Chains A and B, each alone.
Chain A
Amino acid sequence: MNQVMHPPSAEAEILSSSQSLLRHRLTLVEDIWQTVLKKECGPTLVAHLNQLRASRSDEGRIANFPLADISHLIESLSLEDAIRAARAFALYFQLINSIEQHYEQREQQLSRRMVSSNDTNTNGHSSTQSEIPPTQAGTFDWLFPHLKRQNMPPQTIQRLLNQLDIRLVFTAHPTEIVRHTIRNKQRRIAGILRELDRTKEGIQPLDAAESWEVEDIKQQLTEEIRLWWRTDELHQFKPQVIDEVDYALHYFEEVLFDTLPDLSIRLQQALKSSFPRLNSPSKDFCNFGSWVGGDRDGNPSVTPDVTWKTACYQRGLVLQRYIHSVDALSDVLSLSLHWSNVLPDILDSLEQEQNIFPDIYETLAIRYRQEPYRLKLAYIKRRLENTLDRNRRLSEMAAWQNKVEDADTRVYASGEAFLADLMLLRDSLVQTDIHCAALDKLICQVEIFGFILTRLDFRQESTLHSDAIAEIADYLGVLPKPYNKLTDAEKVTWLVEELKTRRPLIPKEMDFSERAIETIQTFQVLRRLQQEFGVGICQTYIISMTDEASDVLEVLLLAQEAGLYDPVTGTTTIRIAPLFETVDDLRNAPEIMQGLFEIPLYRACLAGGYEPSNEGNTDEVFGDRLSPDLQEIMLGYSDSNKDSGFLSSNWEVHKAQKNLQQVADPFGIDLRIFHGRGGSVGRGGGPAYAAILAQPPHTINGRIKITEQGEVLASKYSLPDLALYHLESISTAVIQSSLLGSGFDDIQPWNRIMEKLSQRSRAAYRSLVYEEPDFLDFFMSVTPLPEISQLQISSRPARRKKGKRI
């Protein structure tokens, strides 16, 4: 992409040596792959495989080999051999994916090191105004000096940093449920590759004779791959939602738990060196959410019980991490009163703890008599363990229906309480001139992850809400005709009236359909989750298939019934986010939102109540900056891609964003656009940095929310440095795009040309996919789609039932 800039020669050299190393490793692994297969399947099959792979031409297309011969060869394979061959090729891809990731990360590390050493020599003066040297693109070390050169006013930067809020949301994907077993194999192979790098690097040129050490490593690699070959790559059962939760959370355990604090530090350092007087953004300026266990749309197995269990599972995971960290701290903070002062606050707190945990005092008071930090940590640890025990009890299915328990001083009620204890330690250390990096990191982690780990979004289809309300209205006999027969305007009028009174609509004994009861209970569990975990655990409620203003008010009414909206104060603890997916819906979105913003009750609810004073709904919510006057709107790429092709889809999303912003501006409402990007390009995926820079400039303002689809998690979040790089480039793009919009989006003649191109490509696309009578037949019989829907690879049915849409 950056043909214009040529990297300086030292850089080129390192990159090219890195390239040749990559090639070398690919060859090495391919050799080992062959060796393993020969051992495991015999030479005949391997010969067949090689014959098949030789069938490509140089450009990687079929050419050299007559088609009929290949077909014949494959038809002649027995099923066992065909399956073996498929496994062998799949394994090959897994291996080269691992290697590519590993070397991508390595290149990343090298170029960072180089850029920082270059910077000290040349003052980083190599770039012209618009071109970014390839190795620096998307890094904070490029961004802040660049802003400085552009004379960006520091107050403007500060304002943006204060509201910087980047949310990435994990979603489940059926084909990506890799077993832990397989992932561990991948990690072990990455480990062996690292060792190989260490032995060869700098010691000898690549093709020199190999040492016994290298031979030994190759041997390990071979054995590891043989074990892998003999392991089932797929689960032998249909995965449950909780397996999918486990899969997605794995990236927190392995990578994000450490990476997010590093990201915050990296930004802080880069900011300080260009703008020493500016304050860093909040530590969780980049944070994660999850749909796994909360997204119900089309997946009947995501029940209230499952969501509850998911939240408990997440809390269990962070608590265990914290317990480990506290153990490690106890090793470090061995300061003795003989040699160090402490603040009296610590001693006071120890006195209180003595009454709460007399048993700990009895066993440890003597040992730690002179070591107050350790004693305090022992109390902290016990309280974490108690919290974990309580969490285990609560995680039982249906426990959410139990009454709220009374407060107990032997457990932590929330992440803030734990954080307060840690701050006590830090204050005392800082006052006595000690800085403990491990404690700082733990504090940063607690600030980011709390006892929540990650926010859970809810999503449900709009028809479920209107059906439930129709049943309720019917039961109460309050409407002259069935609710679903009303026009949108009539619905809105009635809903607004109901939203003005605290009088409940839903009777205690619910004589409704199972579906309606579950819809109602979904709001009850949401309420209970907020009570137990804090409002931050789940706030966003997404409505799919939104096409009327009443779709949004229905959700507000159901929320009111569960105690999530108070009609008297006009305050709510949820954010309702309509999702617009098809091209038609995207076009109607601004009008629908305009209608909503004009309803005083809805506008007040966005403002944080009728009297947006400082009561209740301001900033105290843990782990979430609940800023008022913010409307979240989700835009889907997948459906618009399917209905109009991707030029038109991208253009319609682009336009919808601009139009929505125009509608929101006069009301003084900020938007958070939630981009429902698929993993594959055809579903809105692709490189994130370029995609964010391509957004209309006035629509980001430091806020963005993006889905990270299950199928691409592995390639972005398996290795810490790659994950960090990915997050850094997203953050850079968001800041860059918010502050330095290109201005090209506002050129009217360009927009007209784009509009014409979009219409023409849409017409051509639809003439094939929708107007060609044979297309559906064609698609179903020549792709594996029918088979995919039969496979038990996800907790969700393969095709969402959405009527006639493809």
Chain B
Amino acid sequence: MPAWYGVGTALQEFFEEAPEENLELMQYFYSKWPFFRMVISKVEMTLSKVDLQMANHYVHELGDPADHPRFERLLDRITEEFNLTKKLVLQITGNETLLDGDRPLQRSVQLRNGTIIPLGFLQVSLLKRLRQYTRETQASIVHFRYSKEELLRGALLTINGIAAGMRNTG
């Protein structure tokens, strides 16, 4: 669930009221107010693990082709909000890229991303096979080489693997 969604819009609307002044105010909040700083840091941490290209791949592979247009529209909305949120959060923290303020976490996230991606691809592929199995055996079209248990096991492995890779997000 994209719980970060909406943060960008809220900040944007607030900045539009008084662009420079309000940006400065947010920067001041960030440096002084522990509550605000905590919220922005959490947004930053979550954004750093969002991968929209990957999301796009999930949509294309797992969504029914007939659904692609309406799903793509949603994904566009999410992408737009992601870019906006990222831009404004960076303005507030004064960093160039996400997590610049927490190098060890940044390195750790980057190290993992390289392997999360292929694991995501695998997950998509296994889920696709599993869903195809469910559809086609229900319609009793073909007999499958693999049992449902094996397919489920594969899917579970990818879920656990991605959870291990993401650590505190998910």
Q: Interface on A for B, CB 8 Å cutoff? A: 1, 3, 26, 49, 52-53, 55-56, 59-62, 67, 70-71, 74-75, 77, 79, 82-83, 85-87, 89-90, 92-94, 96-97, 100, 175, 233-234, 641-642, 645-651, 654, 679-682, 685-687, 690-691, 693-696, 711-712, 715, 742, 744-745, 750, 753-754, 756-766, 768-769, 772, 774-775, 777-779, 781-784, 787-788, 790-791, 793, 806
Contact = CB atoms under 8 A, between A and B. Distances in A.
B19 interface: no
A53 B45 contact: no
Contacts of A645: 3-7
A796 to B, nearest CB: 16
B96 to A, nearest CB: 12
A648 B42 CA distance: 13
A497 B55 CA distance: 58
A681 B168 contact: yes
Interface of A is mostly: helix
Looking at B118, B119, B123, B151, the one whose CB has the most chain A CB atoms below 10 A away is B118
Contact of A682 (B58, B111, B165, B169): B169
A742 B108 CA distance: 31
Nearest to B170: A680
Given A753-B29, A784-B158, 9 more contacts: A52-B121, A62-B51, A67-B57, A74-B121, A86-B154, A86-B157, A744-B33, A760-B14, A777-B71
A783 B155 CA distance: 12
A763 B12 CA distance: 14
B90 interface: no
Give the 10 A-B CB pairs with smallest separation, nearest first.
A60-B113, A90-B161, A764-B6, A52-B118, A765-B6, A760-B10, A761-B6, A761-B10, A694-B38, A764-B9
A679 B122 contact: no
Interface residues of B, number: 91
Nearest to A651: B39
A768 B32 contact: no
Given A86-B157, A711-B170, A787-B152, A753 B34 contact: no
Interface of B: 1-7, 9-11, 13-14, 25, 29, 32-39, 41-43, 45-46, 51, 53-55, 57-59, 61-64, 67, 70-71, 73-74, 77-78, 81, 97, 101-102, 108-115, 117-119, 121-127, 129-130, 145-146, 150-161, 163-170
Nearest to B57: A67
B132 to A, nearest CB: 12
Contacts of B127: 784, 787
Of the listed residues B38, B57, B155, B159, the one surrounded by the most CB atoms of chain A closer than 10 A to its CB is B38
A97 B164 contact: yes
A219 B108 CA distance: 26
Contacts of A646: 3-4, 7, 39, 42-43, 46
A646 B2 CA distance: 9
A61 B145 CA distance: 34
Given A61-B53, A694-B35, A745-B35, A764 B5 contact: yes
Given A60-B113, A97-B167, A764-B10, A86 B158 contact: yes
Contact of A769 (B5, B57, B155): B5
A96 B61 contact: no
A712 B123 contact: no
A99 to B, nearest CB: 10
A303 to B, nearest CB: 27
B34 to A, nearest CB: 4
Contact of B25 (A67, A100, A648, A753): A753
Contact of A79 (B7, B118, B150): B150
A784 B146 CA distance: 20
18 contacts: A1-B41, A62-B117, A67-B53, A90-B160, A93-B165, A100-B108, A233-B157, A642-B1, A647-B43, A687-B41, A693-B38, A742-B34, A744-B33, A768-B2, A768-B81, A782-B71, A784-B155, A787-B155
Nearest to B119: A89
Contacts of B101: 1, 3
A690 B37 contact: yes
A74 B125 contact: yes
A694 to B, nearest CB: 4
A713 B107 CA distance: 22
Contacts of B70: 774, 778
Contacts of B10: 647, 756-761, 764
Contacts of B73: 774
Contacts of A233: 157, 160
A61 B161 CA distance: 18
Contacts of B155: 784, 787, 791
A642 B159 CA distance: 21
Contacts of A768: 2, 5-6, 74, 77-78, 81
Contacts of A82: 122, 125-126, 154
A56 B157 contact: no
Given A79-B151, A760-B6, A93 B74 contact: no
B105 to A, nearest CB: 9
B114 A60 contact: yes
